Amino acid sequence: MTSVAILDYGMGNLRSVCKAVEHVAPSAKVQLTHDADCLRQADRVIFPGQGAITGCIQALDKYNLHKVLLECLNEKPFLGICLGLQALYDESEEGGGTTCLGILPGKVKKFPTSMTESENGQVLKVPHMGWNQVCQIQSHPLWQGINQDERFYFVHSYYVEYTEQASVAGTTDYGLKFTAAAARDNIFAVQFHPEKSQHAGLQLLKNFINWNGRL
Protein backbone atom coordinates (compact mmCIF):
# COMPACT_ATOMS: atom_id res chain seq x y z
CA MET A 1 0.00 0.00 0.00
CA THR A 2 1.43 3.35 -1.03
CA SER A 3 1.49 6.07 1.62
CA VAL A 4 1.00 9.76 0.92
CA ALA A 5 1.87 12.49 3.42
CA ILE A 6 0.11 15.82 2.85
CA LEU A 7 1.95 18.58 4.64
CA ASP A 8 -0.26 20.39 7.17
CA TYR A 9 1.20 23.68 8.33
CA GLY A 10 -2.09 25.40 9.08
CA MET A 11 -2.72 27.23 5.81
CA GLY A 12 -5.43 26.63 3.20
CA ASN A 13 -8.21 24.11 2.81
CA LEU A 14 -6.02 21.03 2.91
CA ARG A 15 -8.93 18.65 3.46
CA SER A 16 -9.98 19.14 -0.16
CA VAL A 17 -6.54 17.94 -1.25
CA CYS A 18 -6.88 14.89 1.01
CA LYS A 19 -10.31 14.03 -0.40
CA ALA A 20 -9.10 14.38 -3.99
CA VAL A 21 -6.13 12.08 -3.36
CA GLU A 22 -8.33 9.55 -1.59
CA HIS A 23 -10.70 9.66 -4.56
CA VAL A 24 -8.00 8.83 -7.14
CA ALA A 25 -6.16 6.37 -4.86
CA PRO A 26 -8.72 4.66 -2.60
CA SER A 27 -6.23 2.00 -1.54
CA ALA A 28 -3.53 4.50 -0.52
CA LYS A 29 -2.80 5.54 3.05
CA VAL A 30 -3.28 9.33 3.07
CA GLN A 31 -2.14 11.37 6.08
CA LEU A 32 -2.51 15.09 6.73
CA THR A 33 0.45 15.80 8.99
CA HIS A 34 3.20 18.12 10.16
CA ASP A 35 5.04 15.30 11.95
CA ALA A 36 8.59 14.90 10.66
CA ASP A 37 8.65 11.11 11.11
CA CYS A 38 5.42 10.70 9.14
CA LEU A 39 6.87 12.75 6.30
CA ARG A 40 10.08 10.72 6.30
CA GLN A 41 8.24 7.40 6.30
CA ALA A 42 5.76 8.28 3.54
CA ASP A 43 6.32 6.99 0.02
CA ARG A 44 5.45 10.39 -1.46
CA VAL A 45 4.80 13.90 -0.18
CA ILE A 46 2.40 16.68 -1.21
CA PHE A 47 3.07 20.27 -0.17
CA PRO A 48 -0.17 22.25 -0.75
CA GLY A 49 -1.23 25.66 0.48
CA GLN A 50 -3.09 28.86 -0.14
CA GLY A 51 -2.42 32.28 1.35
CA ALA A 52 0.71 34.32 2.09
CA ILE A 53 4.20 32.93 1.48
CA THR A 54 5.57 34.81 4.51
CA GLY A 55 3.17 32.96 6.79
CA CYS A 56 3.99 29.71 5.02
CA ILE A 57 7.74 30.02 5.66
CA GLN A 58 7.09 31.08 9.27
CA ALA A 59 4.88 28.02 9.77
CA LEU A 60 7.61 25.74 8.41
CA ASP A 61 9.96 27.26 10.99
CA LYS A 62 7.37 26.87 13.75
CA TYR A 63 7.02 23.14 13.09
CA ASN A 64 10.76 22.62 12.40
CA LEU A 65 9.98 21.29 8.93
CA HIS A 66 12.81 22.76 6.84
CA LYS A 67 15.20 19.84 7.32
CA VAL A 68 12.65 17.09 6.68
CA LEU A 69 11.28 18.94 3.67
CA LEU A 70 14.75 19.09 2.13
CA GLU A 71 15.16 15.37 2.77
CA CYS A 72 11.84 14.61 1.06
CA LEU A 73 12.67 16.90 -1.85
CA ASN A 74 15.83 14.88 -2.44
CA GLU A 75 14.50 11.38 -1.88
CA LYS A 76 10.91 10.76 -3.00
CA PRO A 77 8.15 11.84 -5.39
CA PHE A 78 7.18 15.34 -4.32
CA LEU A 79 4.23 17.46 -5.47
CA GLY A 80 3.89 21.16 -4.66
CA ILE A 81 0.55 22.95 -5.07
CA CYS A 82 0.12 26.76 -5.18
CA LEU A 83 2.23 27.97 -2.20
CA GLY A 84 3.94 24.59 -2.45
CA LEU A 85 5.28 25.75 -5.82
CA GLN A 86 6.21 29.29 -4.78
CA ALA A 87 8.02 28.12 -1.64
CA LEU A 88 10.49 26.12 -3.74
CA TYR A 89 12.04 29.23 -5.31
CA ASP A 90 14.76 31.57 -4.04
CA GLU A 91 12.64 34.49 -2.90
CA SER A 92 9.28 36.22 -3.09
CA GLU A 93 8.35 39.90 -3.28
CA GLU A 94 5.56 39.25 -0.80
CA GLY A 95 5.85 40.75 2.66
CA GLY A 96 8.51 43.22 1.53
CA GLY A 97 10.73 40.31 0.51
CA THR A 98 10.65 36.74 1.78
CA THR A 99 13.45 34.18 1.53
CA CYS A 100 12.04 30.85 0.35
CA LEU A 101 13.53 27.34 0.24
CA GLY A 102 15.86 27.96 -2.71
CA ILE A 103 15.33 24.56 -4.34
CA LEU A 104 14.63 26.08 -7.76
CA PRO A 105 16.24 29.26 -9.12
CA GLY A 106 13.88 32.17 -9.63
CA LYS A 107 11.72 34.81 -8.04
CA VAL A 108 8.05 35.04 -7.10
CA LYS A 109 6.57 38.41 -8.13
CA LYS A 110 3.29 40.23 -7.61
CA PHE A 111 0.95 40.70 -10.55
CA PRO A 112 0.77 44.38 -11.57
CA THR A 113 -2.34 46.03 -10.15
CA SER A 114 -3.41 47.13 -13.63
CA MET A 115 -3.11 44.61 -16.45
CA THR A 116 -4.87 44.16 -19.76
CA GLU A 117 -5.37 41.14 -21.96
CA SER A 118 -3.40 41.79 -25.14
CA GLU A 119 -5.97 40.39 -27.55
CA ASN A 120 -8.92 42.60 -26.61
CA GLY A 121 -7.67 45.12 -24.06
CA GLN A 122 -9.83 43.68 -21.29
CA VAL A 123 -8.79 44.73 -17.78
CA LEU A 124 -7.56 41.73 -15.80
CA LYS A 125 -8.33 41.49 -12.10
CA VAL A 126 -5.87 40.56 -9.38
CA PRO A 127 -5.91 37.99 -7.88
CA HIS A 128 -5.89 35.75 -10.91
CA MET A 129 -8.90 33.62 -10.03
CA GLY A 130 -10.66 31.03 -12.15
CA TRP A 131 -9.97 28.72 -15.07
CA ASN A 132 -7.04 29.21 -17.42
CA GLN A 133 -5.11 27.17 -19.95
CA VAL A 134 -1.78 25.53 -19.22
CA CYS A 135 0.67 25.07 -22.06
CA GLN A 136 2.84 21.99 -21.52
CA ILE A 137 6.35 22.89 -22.63
CA GLN A 138 8.12 19.85 -21.19
CA SER A 139 6.99 16.25 -21.43
CA HIS A 140 6.51 14.66 -18.04
CA PRO A 141 4.78 11.58 -16.58
CA LEU A 142 2.38 13.83 -14.65
CA TRP A 143 1.00 15.23 -17.93
CA GLN A 144 -0.04 11.74 -19.08
CA GLY A 145 -3.68 11.69 -20.21
CA ILE A 146 -3.96 15.50 -19.97
CA ASN A 147 -4.51 17.48 -23.17
CA GLN A 148 -2.26 20.28 -24.29
CA ASP A 149 -3.74 23.67 -23.27
CA GLU A 150 -6.02 21.99 -20.73
CA ARG A 151 -7.76 24.35 -18.33
CA PHE A 152 -7.01 24.30 -14.59
CA TYR A 153 -8.27 26.37 -11.67
CA PHE A 154 -6.06 29.19 -10.32
CA VAL A 155 -6.25 31.47 -7.26
CA HIS A 156 -3.17 33.67 -6.73
CA SER A 157 -1.88 37.24 -6.64
CA TYR A 158 1.80 36.28 -6.95
CA TYR A 159 3.43 34.30 -9.75
CA VAL A 160 6.70 32.58 -10.51
CA GLU A 161 8.63 34.63 -13.03
CA TYR A 162 9.20 32.78 -16.31
CA THR A 163 12.97 33.02 -16.62
CA GLU A 164 14.82 29.79 -15.73
CA GLN A 165 13.41 27.60 -18.48
CA ALA A 166 15.19 24.33 -17.66
CA SER A 167 12.78 23.57 -14.80
CA VAL A 168 9.60 24.94 -16.39
CA ALA A 169 7.09 22.22 -17.30
CA GLY A 170 4.11 24.44 -18.12
CA THR A 171 3.17 28.07 -18.59
CA THR A 172 0.02 30.17 -18.42
CA ASP A 173 -0.77 33.63 -19.78
CA TYR A 174 -2.56 36.20 -17.64
CA GLY A 175 -1.45 39.58 -18.86
CA LEU A 176 2.05 38.07 -18.87
CA LYS A 177 3.49 34.58 -19.17
CA PHE A 178 4.32 32.85 -15.89
CA THR A 179 5.40 29.42 -14.68
CA ALA A 180 2.32 27.28 -14.09
CA ALA A 181 4.24 24.04 -13.50
CA ALA A 182 7.84 23.24 -12.64
CA ALA A 183 9.71 19.95 -12.68
CA ARG A 184 13.14 18.71 -11.70
CA ASP A 185 14.13 15.13 -10.97
CA ASN A 186 11.60 13.79 -8.39
CA ILE A 187 9.89 17.19 -7.94
CA PHE A 188 6.77 18.44 -9.71
CA ALA A 189 4.94 21.57 -8.61
CA VAL A 190 2.01 23.57 -9.95
CA GLN A 191 0.57 27.04 -9.40
CA PHE A 192 -2.99 25.86 -10.05
CA HIS A 193 -5.14 23.70 -7.79
CA PRO A 194 -5.56 20.17 -9.19
CA GLU A 195 -8.00 19.33 -6.38
CA LYS A 196 -10.33 22.04 -7.78
CA SER A 197 -9.70 21.32 -11.46
CA GLN A 198 -12.17 18.50 -12.06
CA HIS A 199 -11.13 15.70 -14.44
CA ALA A 200 -7.75 17.11 -15.52
CA GLY A 201 -6.75 17.88 -11.94
CA LEU A 202 -7.74 14.44 -10.71
CA GLN A 203 -5.78 12.89 -13.58
CA LEU A 204 -2.68 14.81 -12.51
CA LEU A 205 -3.08 13.62 -8.92
CA LYS A 206 -3.58 10.05 -10.13
CA ASN A 207 -0.43 10.35 -12.23
CA PHE A 208 1.47 11.55 -9.17
CA ILE A 209 0.33 8.58 -7.10
CA ASN A 210 1.58 6.24 -9.84
CA TRP A 211 4.83 8.12 -10.49
CA ASN A 212 8.09 6.58 -9.35
CA GLY A 213 9.86 9.94 -9.17
CA ARG A 214 11.95 9.41 -12.30
CA LEU A 215 11.68 11.09 -15.67
pLDDT at 74: 94
pLDDT at 162: 87
pLDDT at 197: 98
Give CA–CA dist 95/186, Å, rounded: 30
DSSP H/E element including 109: strand 107-110
Taking every pair of C-alpha atoms in the chain, what is the biggest distance, in angstroms? 52
pLDDT at 17: 95
Q: Would you give the DSSP letter of residue 111?
A: P
Q: Is 195 labeled as catalytic in the residue annotation?
A: yes
54-65 tens-digit pLDDT: 999 998 988 899
112-154 tens-digit pLDDT: 877 766 556 678 889 999 999 999 999 999 999 999 999 999 9
Q: Between 3.40.50.880, 1.20.140.10, 3.40.50.800, 3.40.1670.10, what CATH number should domain 3-210 receive?
A: 3.40.50.880
Active-site residue, from 56, 72, 82, 100: 82
DSSP H/E element including 172: strand 168-173
Domain boundaries, given as residue ranges, for the chain = 3-210
Q: Is 82 labeled as catalytic in the residue annotation?
A: yes
pLDDT at 114: 74
pLDDT at 38: 95
Percent residues over pLDDT 70 in the chain? 97
Low-confidence ranges of the chain (pLDDT < 50): none
pLDDT at 119: 58
